[in-house]
Each structure stands twice: as C-alpha cells, then as structure tokens.
Amino acid sequence: MDVGIRIEHLRKVYTSPPPAAAQVRGGPMTGVKFFKRPEKKKFEVVALDDVSLDVRPGEVFGLLGPNGAGKSTTVGILTTRIRPTSGGAWIGGLDVWRERVSVKRLIGVVPQKPNLDFALTAREMLTYHAAYFGMPPAQRHSRATELLDRFQLGDRADSLVTGFSGGMMQRLSIARALMHNPQILFLDEPSTGLDPQTRLLLWELIRDFNRRGQTVMLTTHNMDEADALCHRLAIVDHGRVIATGTPDQLKRSVPGGFVVRLQVDTMSDGLSASLAQIQGVTEVQRTPEGGVDLYADRGGTLIPHIVTAVAASGATIRDVHIFEPSLENLFLHHTGRSLRQ
C-alpha cells in the first residue's frame, strides 16, 4: 500500500497555550510570531503560516529547522493531535482531521519526549498497544518478542520501563510505533539526547523500515541527520517552508556553497562592495549583527583577499568563520541565522 502525505495551505494559530498532551519541548511555545494586541491582551502564536508539502509514498522526508519553526506542530496535525486552524492535510487520501480514526490506523508515532506507559513492562506496553489496534493475542505476542529482540531490548522485556536509559526508551518508543505495522512512521526529533552509537542504530532502524517501502517523516534540527537519512527535505522557519528538495539539490542552491562569516568593527557599503569584487565570491549579505556573510565557491583561500579588502577600508577584523558547504549554509542563506542559534 502506497501512502503519501499531502499538506495544503496549512495554518495553525494558537489562541491559548497548547495543552500539555499536544505540547512538545521546543514546539509551538518557543515563540514563532507574537501578536500582542495591547487593547485585548490576546494570546496569539502563529505556529504554521501557509505550509504546503507533498511527501511521496516510500520516501524518507525530513523537516529541518530550528526549535519553534513549526516542525512539531506539523507532525502534531498530521498525527491527529492538533487541530489545524485552516488549510488541509491528507494521509493516503484521508483527511487527517475529518477521518482521524482511519488515519490513526495508518500511522506510527515516535514523539519527541518519551511517553511510555510507566505502569507496564516493556513487553506489556507493546502487546497492549497492538491490542488497541485489534491484533490477535498470539500475533501480538510473537511480534512483541520479534521487535524487542530486533531493538536489543530482549533481556529487559519483562522489566518495568521506569529504570530504562534514554536510549532504551527511545528504542522502545520506536518498537511500539512499529507494533501495528503502520504505513507511515513519524519521528519527532528522534535522536535528541542519544549517544552517537544509539543514534547510528536508530538511523539503521529507520532505513530498515523505509526499505520495505514505507514512508517516514522525521523532524530534526540536526543537519547531519537530515543529510544522512532523508531523500527529500523541507527547510522550515517561522512556520513557513523556506525550501524543499533533495539534500544535494538544496546544498547546491546556496550560491557558491561556502559561507565566510565576517565580523568587523566598522562595516561600510564601500567595504561590502569591495568584498563582492573578490574572485570566487558570489554574493555578499549583511547580517543583523553588523557583519557580512560572503557566499563563495571556496573557503580558506579567500582569507588573504578579505584581510586586504578590510585593511584598505580602514576597518579591523573581529572574527572570521568558514562554513563548509552544508544544509546549515542554506538555512543561513535564507534566514541570516544559523540553525544552532
């Protein structure tokens, strides 16, 4: 069964702080746009602002953006937990808000923050989850054993989850999401807080799921993860999609590929113009902090020319940073901000 995702002109405005169960760390509350009307003191946060996306069946699609970009709200809407203000979203042709129950059968969800059932053992959690989806007892027990082994949790299968490490909880979350054989897997910031070894295991599990032809949508603010896992990406910021494409296409779309971020004591239009003249520099953008970003086809070899140009303008260099070609540069190019800021 080929199941994709279609999102059209999706908009979400929170008029009150989102409820705890629909809230996610780094999610809608981390301030997207605040409109405070002094006369009414109305709480209003625009978390998604006209987002349209198309995720093809069988692909790993990533939403890349900083905290508060609207990634978790998008996943929240697609997983029936958040009601869209306007616009629409469909999973496999089903309207996610109007046909919630049918949609829930198609999706597996791995939340950003573990929401495991602490009153149950790992095995019980999986078997009860499958029971909610109507799986017969014999089948759910064998599937639970299979997944616990595959996720290297077999030796702790009958312990309560309370003592599990972060990595174990995350693996169990994914195992639970896979219990009912979903067609689409949603992972919200799946590798946050994981050690490198567990992260690699997680990536392998995601690839493995996808190899069977199933669709994956993940959110991340880690560009390495997006680069390593995703067939296609949407870069989001302030509730809007800035760019979509394959990681390579996106990286190529940055003029030159390299970015040299320069801080000087006094920035002038003259200096900006002379920097743009340097061979290899394709674009010069002033940054909000008073520096400039040089988009160029090379990195370190530009430095002597930059030093000369700055010295000629009578200014002093305070800081230089070279960014290698990456998705981060794309983000920088479109927003003037680093993903890590």
Partner 1 sequence: MNLQAFLAMLSRDGRVARRNFLPLLLQNLVQPMLFVFVFGRVMTTSGMMPESYKSLLLPGIIAISMLLSGLQAVAFPMIADFQFTREIEDRLLAPMEIEWVAIEKVVAGSIQALIAGGVVIPTAWLILGTGVQISFAQPLELVVLAVLVAVLAAAIGLTLGCSLGQAQIGIMFSLIVGPMIFFGCTYYPWSALASFPILQKLVLLNPFVYASEGFRSALVPQFPHLSGYAVFGGLLLFNGVFLWLGLRQFRKKAIG
Is 143 a binder of partner 1 (CB under 8 A)? no
Number of residues that make up the chain: 341
Nearer to partner 1, 47 or 233 (CB): 47
Task: Report the residue from 4, 28, 92, 291 that binds partner 1 according to the rule CB under 8 A.
Answer: 28
Q: Identify which range of 103-111, 144-152, 193-201, 270-278 contacts partner 1 by CB under 8 A.
A: 103-111
Going by DSSP bridges, is the β-strand pair 232-237/60-64 parallel, antiparallel, or unpaired?
parallel
Task: Report the residue from 6, 23, 263, 317 that binds partner 1 according to the rule CB under 8 A.
Answer: 23
Is 132 a binder of partner 1 (CB under 8 A)? yes
In single-letter form, the type of residue at position 25 comes to R
Task: Report the residue from 15, 37, 39, 134 that binds partner 1 according to the rule CB under 8 A.
Answer: 134
Q: Are 84 and 46 in contact (CB under 8 A)?
A: no
DSSP reduced 3-state for 228? helix
- Distance, in Å, from the CA atom of 329 to the CA atom of 340, rounded to the nearest integer, reads 12
Is 190 a binder of partner 1 (CB under 8 A)? no
Task: Report the residue from 15, 38, 40, 101 that binds partner 1 according to the rule CB under 8 A.
Answer: 101
Is 83 a binder of partner 1 (CB under 8 A)? yes
Is 85 a binder of partner 1 (CB under 8 A)? no
Task: Report the residue from 13, 63, 66, 79 that binds partner 1 according to the rule CB under 8 A.
Answer: 79
Task: Report the residue from 89, 107, 284, 339 that binds partner 1 according to the rule CB under 8 A.
Answer: 107
DSSP reduced 3-state for 315? coil
Smallest CA-to-CA distance from 302 within 316, 273, 281 is with 281
Give the angle 155-160-165 at the CA atoms, nearest 5°: 70
- Distance, in Å, from the CA atom of 130 to the CA atom of 146, rounded to the nearest integer, reads 13
DSSP reduced 3-state for 322? strand
Task: Report the residue from 6, 9, 11, 22 that binds partner 1 according to the rule CB under 8 A.
Answer: 22
Which residues have CB under 8 Å from 140's CB, separation 6+? 126, 127, 130, 131, 179
Interface residues with partner 1 (CB under 8 A) are 14, 18-23, 28, 73, 76, 79-83, 100-102, 104-105, 107, 109, 111, 113, 115-120, 124-125, 128-129, 131-134, 176
